[in-house]
């Protein structure tokens, strides 16, 4: 994920600002902390939000090695349409939970 957004011309700071503007993190510091300490969560937020924007869509045809001139013409003819999605709770508000396992006591097994 980091490589594709970099190829599309996005800087990490720009992505942080975008995620905060979309309410995916409470602030720039939180976005930076997740990018550094919990990158899988951070890049999942990028994948679920930024990659579905019209701005990213417009950059696809400019990716290095995108394709042939015919591919570019096909891409230029496509219209972006917003994706309907239900986003998860903000990463900062998520809690980890462990399923509770009940092991019967020896007297309960008989």
Alpha carbons 46 and 11: distance in angstroms, whole number: 12
- Mean pLDDT in consecutive groups of 10 residues from the start of the chain, 110 residues: 92 96 94 96 94 89 82 82 71 66 64
In contact, 5 and 46? CB cutoff 8 Å = yes
State the pLDDT at residue 20: 96
Q: Which two tokens stand for residue 25?
A: 């993190």
- C-alpha closest to that of 8 among 50, 44, 43, 45: 50
pLDDT of 28 reads: 97
For residue 89, give the nearest of 32, 29, 23, 40 by alpha carbon.
Answer: 23
């Amino acid at each position: 994920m980091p490589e594709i957004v970099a190829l599309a011309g996005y800087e990490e700071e720009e992505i942080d600002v975008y995620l905060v503007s979309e309410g995916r993190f409470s602030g720039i510091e939180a976005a930076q902390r997740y990018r550094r300490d919990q990158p899988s969560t951070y890049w999942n937020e990028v994948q679920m939000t930024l990659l579905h924007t019209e701005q990213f869509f417009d950059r696809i045809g400019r990716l290095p090695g995108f394709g042939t001139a015919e591919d570019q013409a096909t891409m230029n003819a496509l219209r972006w349409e917003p994706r309907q999605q239900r986003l998860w709770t903000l990463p900062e508000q998520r809690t980890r939970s462990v399923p509770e396992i009940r092991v019967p006591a020896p007297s309960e097994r008989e």
